[in-house]
Amino acid sequence: MTIQHSGLDPARHVERTGHPIHEDRRMGAIVADVWDNADKLVGQHLQLALSELETRVEGLKTDLTIITVGGLVMYAGVLAAVATAILALAMVLPAWAASLIVSFVALSAGYLMLQRKKHLSPDPAFSPTVQSIKRTGQTLKEAVK
């Protein structure tokens, strides 16, 4: 395939430089195409990652709202149970002693639960998009070498 360039004679260019002009132009066009395509690919990967992140954030907002409301309802139930325990114990002990005993039991139970809690860890494989971006970056680095 021969590429015609206006005003340049490929035969004369070969005589001056030793390389045909259409090979230089073709290599430059290939590099430019690779660069443009890499730029578009990285942009598409970023758009996909942002879209996935937005979806996850929306899901997390919904989950956190449900967990918060559920936690508040459970907390109200625990307070009612504590009040019931104090009132039941107050039938055999003075009210202040019943309150003190139930408070001590509740505080001890809470302390023990907090001592056993596990640390939350993020998901190491965030998404296939992040892995794909890493592979694309590695491929581009190898292609540039």
**In-domain check, residue 100:** yes
**In-domain check, residue 50:** yes
**Residue environment code for 32-42, b if the CB has 16+ CB neighbours within 10 A, otherwise e:** eeeeeebeeee
Q: Tens-of-pLDDT digits for all 145 residues of the chain?
A: 444 444 444 444 444 555 555 666 687 788 778 888 888 888 888 888 888 889 899 989 999 999 999 999 999 999 999 999 999 999 999 999 999 999 999 999 988 888 887 655 555 555 676 677 777 777 777 766 6
Residues 80 and 48: their CA atoms lie apart, in Å, by 48
Give me the domain span that covers residue 21: 10-144
**In-domain check, residue 4:** no
* Predicted TM-score (pTM) of this structure: 0.43
**In-domain check, residue 53:** yes
**In-domain check, residue 127:** yes
Residues 93 and 101: their CA atoms lie apart, in Å, by 10
| Contact indicator for 59, 127 with CB cutoff of 8 Å | no
**In-domain check, residue 92:** yes
**In-domain check, residue 96:** yes
Q: How far is CA 13 from CA 3, 7, 64, in A?
A: 14, 11, 69
Per the structure, the count of domains in the chain is 1
